[in-house]
């Protein structure tokens, strides 16, 4: 079908028009939803300075807070270990599931469907819900937190790994088939080396992510640094709670910097 | 000798289908398959080592029908058929040496292959083959750090590691500059002569086919329209091979200039 040729002026006028329509729709959605939940934009914005002042006044750590440093660092260390170990264990399982479930390497479409569905289920239950569900079976312990993070990570990484493997150039695997390599040889000599650096990036990202989540999970399972935060907070020791927030932020940033370095080294 | 008899393959769309394909390729010779894009050149090549399953026909390599082989048999046959590709298809984070050693996978036990347990003889041979294609000093470099021409030569060394009777070359020079093209084509011709290999090449470039091939197979819309010695290819033959496509016009006018 050939239409009459469009002038560039017409083309850009139409494009601007389309953009404006999208913008108006977005503003409309915002206004409607704010009205529905009775959210008053201006009065809320006006309250922000006072809120911030209170926050800084109470949560800034003082010299007094230094005495809490020992127990905080100890719990932070445990939380870090739980998030690293849950990520590592989950990534091993995720790798197996991803190889069985990825379009390019699946032994049977049945695996693919089951694994996709299972991973999606695990992933779409929030980590907080996992923690609360598992709390009944495994009580307040580090292991409960470990499991909650494990399930969520397993779901998330299975999906990420599957997509990584599916994004690999299928022709490269065909080249190994052409050599006479069998299934396992193709996976070990082709898929894994090709995907290794991307897979490692995902694992590092999940460790960072899980450290943040571990804090939240700890709040619920009564373990780690999350529990300590909750404890100080409820006993009005806001400066100590503030110190925890600060230390978590520092640790997450350090973790991010380290993983950036590792990623650069293996890329 | 490779003998393809009455090979048929139908896809949903007519493109890339094969209709009653017959041709032979001799050891010691470079055989070029030429034809317009979408004529089925790649389909033919990939049918020969059964990366693509065809519908019917016979593919005889030294009298043995590849199509009749079971899974283990096919693996053994593939081990003796090297293949190189337009995009080289090396495992890019691995070194040149490791990629060459992959040529042994078809002959190794599953576990030894998986874990990359190669014998000292195999390692030495891989290095010698890299030397043969002029890349000895690049043996421990990652393949994604090599140029296109170098990667293609690693691909050839991988194929040689298979101790092949035949090397299938799927548009081996389509991504290469003229200098690398010459290096790669010279190596392929030398291999055909020195090791008495069957070299079967898909080519877009008619002039390269004319220069290097001993034997030419012309294909148009999935059917063989010409087969014969390179010296018997003239403008009429090329017209027949490239008829009724845009490619043909380009090629013919390029030849005239």
Pair A91, A218 in one domain: yes
Domain boundaries, chain B: 2-80+165-256, 91-163
Cβ within 8 Å, pair A189-B75: no
Q: Return the biggest CA–CA distance within chain A.
A: 78
Residues in A closer than 8 angstroms to B81, CB to CB, are 178
Q: Assess if residue A80 is contained within a domain.
A: yes
Render pLDDT for A192-227 as a digit per residue (tens, 0 to 9).
999 999 999 999 999 989 988 888 888 888 888 888
Q: Which residue ranges in chain B fall short of pLDDT 50?
A: 247-257
**Residue A160 or residue A218, greater confidence:** A160
Instruction: Give yes or no for a contact between B1 and B24, defined as CB atoms under 8 angstroms apart.
Output: yes
CB contact under 8 A, B91 and A172: yes
- Residue B245's pLDDT is 53
Residue of A nearest to B98 (CA): A189
Give residues with Cβ within 8 angstroms of A246, minimum separation 6: A61
Confidence of residue A5 (pLDDT cuts 50, 70, 90): confident
Name every chain A residue with its beta carbon within 8 A of the beta carbon of B105. 176, 179-181, 185, 189
Report the pLDDT value the prediction gives residue B13, as an integer from 0 to 100.
Answer: 66
Say if residue A16 is in the same domain as residue A77.
no
Q: Are residues A120 and A222 in the same domain?
A: yes
For B107-131, the pLDDT digits (tens) are 999 999 999 999 999 999 999 999 9
Which is nearest to A227 in space by CA: B87, B231, A240, B73?
A240
| CA A160/CA B72 separation, integer angstroms | 34
User: Is a pLDDT exceeding 80 seen at residue A131?
Assistant: yes
Write out pLDDT tens, residues A81-118.
Answer: 999 999 999 999 999 999 999 999 999 999 999 999 99
Residue in chain B lying closest to A168 (CA): B91
Task: Report pLDDT for A126.
Answer: 87
Q: What is the complex's ipTM, to 2 decimals? A: 0.88
The CATH code of domain B2-80+165-256 reads 3.40.50.300
Q: Would you state the pLDDT for residue A149?
A: 92
Nearest CA in chain A to B100: A179
pLDDT tens digits for range A223-243: 888 888 888 888 888 888 888
Is A189 in contact with B90 (Cβ distance < 8 A)?
no
DSSP B173: T
Q: How far is CA B235 from CA A142, B23, B27, B29, in A?
A: 80, 21, 27, 23
Contact B83 A178 (CB under 8 A): yes
- pLDDT for B173 equals 95
B161's CB contacts (< 8 A; 6+ apart) are: B100, B101, B102, B103, B104, B125, B126, B129
Residue A80 has pLDDT above 50, yes or no: yes
Contact A169 B89 (CB under 8 A): yes
Residues A26, A105, single domain; the answer is no
Per-residue pLDDT tens digits for A6-43: 899 999 999 999 999 999 999 999 999 988 888 777 78
Task: Give percent above pLDDT 90 in chain A.
Answer: 52
Q: Give pLDDT, residue B252.
A: 47
Are A171 and B89 in contact (CB < 8 Å)? yes
DSSP string, A205-254: HHHHHHHHHHHHHHHHHT-HHHHHHHHHHHTT-HHHHHHHHHHHHHHHHH
- Residue B70 near residue B153, CB atoms below 8 Å: no
CA dist B129 and B21 (Å) reads: 35
Q: Is residue A142 part of a domain?
A: yes
Domain hosting residue A98, numbered range: 72-266
Whether A193 is in a domain gets the answer yes
* Residue A190 within any structural domain of the chain: yes
Which of A171, A177, A184 is opposite residue B87, by nearest beta carbon?
A171
In this prediction, residue B248 carries a pLDDT of: 44
Confirm or reject contact between A179 and chain B (CB < 8 A). Answer: yes
* Of residues B165, B159, B226, the one with CA closest to residue B1: B165
Query: Which one-letter DSSP state was computed for residue A191?
Result: I
Q: Is residue A107 part of a domain?
A: yes
Question: Is-contact B77 B66, C-beta < 8 A?
Answer: yes
């Amino acid at each position: 079908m050939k239409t009459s040729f469009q002038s560039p002026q017409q083309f850009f006028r139409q494009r601007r028009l389309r953009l404006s329509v999208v913008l108006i729709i977005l503003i409309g959605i915002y206004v409607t939803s704010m009205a529905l939940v009775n959210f008053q934009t201006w009065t809320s914005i006006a309250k922000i300075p006072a809120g911030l002042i209170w926050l800084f006044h109470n949560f800034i750590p003082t010299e007094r807070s230094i005495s809490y440093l020992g127990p905080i660092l100890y719990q932070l260390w445990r939380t870090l270990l739980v998030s690293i170990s849950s990520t590592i264990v989950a990534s091993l399982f995720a790798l197996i599931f991803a190889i069985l479930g990825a379009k390019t390497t699946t032994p049977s479409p049945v695996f693919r469907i089951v694994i996709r569905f299972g991973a999606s289920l695990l992933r779409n239950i929030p980590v907080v819900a996992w923690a609360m569900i598992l709390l009944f079976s495994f009580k307040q312990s580090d292991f409960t937190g470990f499991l909650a993070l494990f399930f969520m990570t397993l779901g998330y990484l299975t999906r990420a790994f599957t997509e990584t493997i599916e994004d690999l150039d299928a022709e490269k695997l065909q080249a190994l088939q052409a050599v006479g390599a069998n299934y396992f040889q193709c996976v070990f000599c082709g898929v894994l080396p090709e995907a290794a650096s991307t897979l490692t990036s995902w694992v590092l990202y999940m460790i960072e992510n899980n450290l943040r989540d571990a804090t939240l999970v700890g709040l619920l399972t009564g373990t780690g640094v999350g529990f300590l935060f909750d404890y100080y907070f409820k006993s009005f020791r806001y400066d100590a709670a503030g110190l925890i927030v600060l230390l978590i932020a520092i640790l997450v940033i350090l973790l991010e910097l380290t993983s950036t370095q590792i990623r650069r080294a293996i890329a | 000798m490779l003998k393809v008899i009455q090979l048929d393959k139908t896809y949903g769309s007519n493109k890339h289908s094969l209709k009653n394909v017959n041709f032979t390729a001799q050891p010691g010779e470079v055989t070029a398959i030429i034809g317009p894009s979408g004529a089925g050149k790649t389909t033919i090549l990939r049918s020969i080592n059964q990366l693509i399953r065809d519908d019917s026909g016979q593919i005889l390599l030294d009298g043995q029908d590849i199509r009749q082989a079971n899974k283990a048999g096919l693996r053994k046959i593939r081990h003796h058929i090297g293949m190189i590709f337009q995009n080289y298809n090396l495992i890019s984070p691995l070194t040149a040496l490791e990629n060459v050693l992959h040529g042994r996978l078809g002959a190794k036990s599953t576990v030894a292959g998986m874990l990359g347990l190669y014998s000292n003889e195999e390692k030495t041979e891989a290095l010698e083959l890299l030397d043969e294609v002029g890349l000895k000093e690049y043996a421990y470099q990652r393949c994604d750090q090599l140029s296109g021409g170098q990667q293609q030569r690693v691909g050839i060394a991988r194929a040689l590691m298979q101790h092949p009777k035949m090397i299938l070359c799927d548009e081996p020079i389509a991504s290469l500059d003229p200098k690398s093209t010459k290096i790669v084509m010279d190596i392929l011709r030398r291999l055909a002569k020195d090791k008495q290999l069957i070299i079967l090449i898909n080519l877009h470039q008619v002039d390269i086919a004319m220069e290097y091939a001993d034997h030419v197979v012309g294909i148009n819309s999935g059917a063989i329209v010409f087969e014969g010695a390179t010296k018997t290819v003239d403008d009429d033959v090329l017209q027949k091979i490239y008829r009724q496509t845009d490619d043909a016009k380009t090629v013919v006018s390029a030849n005239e200039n």
